[in-house]
Amino acid sequence: MSLLMGSIVVVAILFFVFEMLRRQKLREKYAVLWIVIGMGTLLLSAFPSLLEKASGLIGIQVPANLLFIMTLILLVGVCLHLSREQSQAEDEVRILCEEVALLRAELADVRNQIEVGRGPVNGSEPHEH
């Protein structure tokens, strides 16, 4: 019964990931990660002996402990990746804010030049007579 329930949950999560991908609420690079995780989980729920054999090869006595270790490593990896992505996004936002501030300052200068009649509107300096 737990095999069936685990498989249903994994299939539901995979459906949700595909639906988010279809609606463009999830980027492809993240969808691939969750699809691989879902497929691996589906494989382990279909063949629980794989986890037992892997834990025996590594020397872990309780297969559930191997599953917890793998999950912990996966979650730390996802957190590190998302932290890196957020740091890059913050840098890009800061650079864009600086560029917008410079453009606003240039626009204010141009407006001031136009108001005094020396601007690039007529392309020349006013002449004194």
User: What is the per-residue pLDDT across 70-127, written as a single tens digit (0 to 9) for each?
Assistant: 999 999 999 999 999 999 999 999 999 999 999 999 999 999 999 998 655 555 555 5
29 touches 47 (CB < 8 A): no
Judged by average pLDDT, the poorest of 20-24, 47-51, 87-91 is 47-51
Average pLDDT over the chain reads 88
55 touches 61 (CB < 8 A): yes
Q: Please, which residues have CB within 8 angstroms of residue 43's CB and are 6 or more apart in sequence? A: 50
3 touches 42 (CB < 8 A): no
Q: What is the pLDDT of residue 95?
A: 98
User: Residue 10: exposed, middle, or buried by beta-carbon count in 10 A (0-12, 13-18, 19+)?
Assistant: buried
- Judged against a pLDDT cut of 70, whether residue 44 lies above it is answered with yes
Q: What is the pLDDT of residue 75?
A: 92
User: Residue 38: exposed, middle, or buried by beta-carbon count in 10 A (0-12, 13-18, 19+)?
Assistant: buried
74 touches 38 (CB < 8 A): no
pTM: 0.67
- Residue 47 CB-half CA count within 13 A: 7
Helix 2-22 vs helix 28-46: angle between axes, to the nearest 10 degrees?
170
pLDDT category, 129, cuts 50, 70, 90? very low
Calculate mean pLDDT across residues 21-39: 90
